[in-house]
Amino acid sequence: MTAAARKFDSVDLGTTADELPPGTKLLFGQFTIESFVNSGGFGIVYIARDSLDRQVVIKECFPSTFCRRIGTTVGARSRAQQDEFRAAVKSFMQEAVTLSQLNHPNIIKVHHVFEDNETAYMAMDYIDGPDLLQTVEGTARPLTPKEITSFLHTMLDALGHVHERGLLHRDISPDNILLQKATGQPILIDFGASRKEVTRKSRAVSGLRVVKDGYSPQEFYVSGSKQAPYSDLYALAASFYHLITGETPRTSQERLSAIAGREGDPLRPLAGRFKTYPRAFLEAIDRAMAIFPRDRLQSVDEWRAMLTGDAARVVSEPVAPAPAARLVTAPPPATPAPAPQPTAAQPAPAPAPARAPSVPSASTAATAPAPVVVIQAPRGPRDVLMSSAAAVLLLVGLLSLPNMLNRGTGGVAPATAAASAPAETPATPAPAATAATAEEVLPVTNVLRLPGGYTFDVVETATGAQTVVSELPADLQGTIEVGDILLVYIPTGETLGTATALREILQREFANGITTYSFVIRRGDSTLEAEFRLRAAN
């Protein structure tokens, strides 16, 4: 332990201050602090002068979550946090060195990295000019649609340069894009939250998440979630959404909660609302701001292709949940054949693409031919059950986990057990039996049974799939509850928007030796993190 570190154990916290005072010398006098600019979770920014009397920006590594300052020296708040603090300083140095290698006219240039005061610093170019947030708020000249369009193309070029080097910015927002007075060009700044793409999971980096409501995608709110170029693209799109509409976008957490509750996305799309912008320009922003990562534009190149029209497939075939199964009634044949008397042992022919259900009432069958029922199930064949008098069609698919676990008494239940649904018998035949001209969208329920007593209902409707916890074992190991709606698998950031998403995640992860699974879930009106442990059958 250094003398400075030992000093922290005996000094009263009340004498500390976060920022360095003006006049403070750094690196043996090569830099002199002139003024404080701002601070955040990762560090503190100052205006300074270098030894050649040039104005520069100094960023100090100051993770306020677990560090404090005494005099000019920075150290961990407690001995228990020393490892986290030193890891943060090391990460800051490594990323500063990497950022110093970025060479793009619209990215702030890092030209000096050094250690002092038991922490790390980077010296960057000073950019004289307002940020984009000031142009929206009215403290700087407002931008024209032509300028906004041009600036977005410029920022895409800059962000592409960052992503090509395996980096993520992770803190894009209007206040981190400056307009240089001398050139009028936008400059991307504040790479303090930047890091290598998604693979590093040190405790220090995980604990220093940067979240900006309105601009951060939903994966930034969940510790350990997968982040990729599409995360930066969401933030960039949200920033320009703000420039175009003058309104801060709804937070991704609000949007996620509303979608999970079947209330619809509260964010209003840009396309069709602003005639002064090209439609493809607005559609690309809308696509980049999709709440689920898989639905977004995945790279700068894909965004450019959508703008130029080189990839019509990107625009015309957006990723969307598969449609739910539908009940389509067709007109009866011109000459109906005599209706055979149904028997309990007579199975329905499976391979026929369309079949006439037997009607339980003999008088009903004699007075009108049975309508032809066509089942459109794009996700594959499933068992079809029909209740008799009400002509209620229920499609139940049992999703099994073949070869995932050792099969035993706790294995997946047979299909016959899953396909036992009570029939409804109202006093009067339901009008659904005669509504041959209407098309009705019915929900599809898939039952996923796991060893140990876990059961999940995956309900598919026209608005997508919803995975709900329906049964849990008495000796549950975890925090998940019956009624919870699974939204996102935390370790990878995968969303559960399809009927097979949970099954595929569990099959893959269990094969890799993982038995504990954590999810972002919706419980009532709250979005939480919960987990459960899956044990193999004996």
pLDDT at 392: 31
Say if 360 falls within a structural domain.
no
Residue labelled with tokens 């890091």: 195
> Helix crossing, 300-308 with 279-288: angle to 10°?
150
CA end-to-end span of the chain: 51
Q: In what order do the strands lie in the sheet with 439-441?
A: 354-355, 372-376, 326-330, 439-441
Same domain, 160 and 305: yes
> Does 432 or 286 have the greater pLDDT score?
286
Cβ burial of 220 (10 Å; 0-12, 13-18, 19+) is buried
pLDDT at 205: 39
C-alpha 313/C-alpha 48 separation (Å) is 50
Per-residue pLDDT of 19-76, as tens digits, reads 999 999 999 999 999 999 888 767 899 999 999 999 999 999 998 888 899 999 999 9
C-alpha 519/C-alpha 529 separation (Å) is 6
Same domain, 179 and 309: yes
Contact predicate 47/163, CB 8 Å:
no
Say if 7 falls within a structural domain.
yes
Per-residue pLDDT of 243-259, as tens digits, reads 999 999 998 888 988 88
pLDDT at 229: 92
CA distances from 22 to 26, 31, 118 (A): 11, 11, 19
Same domain, 101 and 157: no
Say if 349 falls within a structural domain.
no
Range of the domain at 395: 326-332+369-533
Q: Which of 110-124, 127-141, 181-195, 494-508 bottoms out in mean pLDDT, i.e. has the lowest?
A: 181-195
Per-residue pLDDT of 124-149, as tens digits, reads 989 889 999 999 998 999 999 999 99
Same domain, 213 and 136: yes
C-alpha 226/C-alpha 197 separation (Å) is 9
In 3-state terms, what secondary structure has residue 447?
A: strand
> What is the arithmetic mean of pLDDT over 509-523?
85
Same domain, 223 and 148: yes
The answer, yes or no, to whether residue 107 has pLDDT greater than 50, is yes
In 3-state terms, what secondary structure has residue 410?
A: coil
- Looking at 125, 159, 183, the residue that finishes a domain is 125
CATH code assigned at 136 = 1.10.510.10
The answer, yes or no, to whether residue 327 has pLDDT greater than 60, is no
Same domain, 463 and 400: yes
- Looking at 104, 125, 146, the residue that finishes a domain is 125
In this structure, the number of other CB atoms found within 10 A of the CB of residue 524 comes to: 10
Q: What is the pTM of this model?
A: 0.58
> Does 475 or 537 have the greater pLDDT score?
475
The answer, yes or no, to whether residue 314 has pLDDT greater than 70, is no
The domain tally of the chain equals 3
pLDDT at 537: 52
pLDDT at 297: 93
pLDDT at 437: 42
Structure tokens at 167: 């980096």
C-alpha 317/C-alpha 527 separation (Å) is 30
pLDDT at 469: 92
Least Cα distance to 190 among 334, 346, 41 occurs for: 41
Whole-number average pLDDT of the chain: 73
In this structure, the number of other CB atoms found within 10 A of the CB of residue 456 comes to: 22
pLDDT at 403: 43
In 3-state terms, what secondary structure has residue 38?
A: strand
C-alpha 475/C-alpha 103 separation (Å) is 57
pLDDT class for 153, splitting at 50, 70, 90?
very high
The answer, yes or no, to whether residue 97 has pLDDT greater than 70, is yes
Say if 359 falls within a structural domain.
no
Q: Which of 426-430, 456-460, 516-520 bottoms out in mean pLDDT, i.e. has the lowest?
A: 426-430
Per-residue pLDDT of 330-380, as tens digits, reads 444 444 445 455 444 454 454 444 444 444 443 444 344 433 333 333 343
Name residue 44's beta-bridge partners.
Answer: 39, 60
In 3-state terms, what secondary structure has residue 167?
A: strand
> What is the arithmetic mean of pLDDT over 263-271?
89
C-alpha 532/C-alpha 514 separation (Å) is 11
Same domain, 169 and 289: yes
Say if 270 falls within a structural domain.
yes
CATH code assigned at 60 = 3.30.200.20
pLDDT at 526: 72
Same domain, 295 and 155: yes
Same domain, 434 and 527: yes
pLDDT class for 265, splitting at 50, 70, 90?
confident
> What is the arithmetic mean of pLDDT over 198-222?
62
Phi, psi of 230 (to 5 degrees): -65, -20
- Looking at 77, 108, 125, the residue that finishes a domain is 125
pLDDT class for 534, splitting at 50, 70, 90?
confident
Give percent of the chain above pLDDT 70. Answer: 66
User: Under 8 Å CB-to-CB from 286, ≥6 apart: which residues?
Assistant: 237, 269, 270, 271
Same domain, 286 and 427: no
> What is the arithmetic mean of pLDDT over 77-84?
88
pLDDT at 528: 76
Q: Identify the sign of the CA torsion 222, 223, 227, 232.
A: positive
C-alpha 424/C-alpha 406 separation (Å) is 38
Per-residue pLDDT of 371-412, as tens digits, reads 333 333 334 333 333 333 333 323 333 334 444 443 333 333
Say if 363 falls within a structural domain.
no
The answer, yes or no, to whether residue 169 has pLDDT greater than 90, is no
Q: Which of 56-60, 117-121, 188-192, 278-282 bottoms out in mean pLDDT, i.e. has the lowest?
A: 188-192
CA distances from 279 to 275, 276, 337, 344 (A): 8, 9, 55, 59
CA distances from 302 to 171, 287, 305, 310 (A): 21, 11, 5, 10
Per-residue pLDDT of 434-472, as tens digits, reads 443 444 455 667 888 887 788 998 887 665 678 999 999
Say if 63 falls within a structural domain.
yes
C-alpha 230/C-alpha 401 separation (Å) is 31
Say if 355 falls within a structural domain.
no
Cβ burial of 232 (10 Å; 0-12, 13-18, 19+) is buried
Antiparallel, parallel or unpaired: β 67-70 and 73-76: antiparallel
Same domain, 149 and 275: yes
> What is the arithmetic mean of pLDDT over 208-220?
79
Same domain, 422 and 476: yes
In 3-state terms, what secondary structure has residue 392?
A: strand
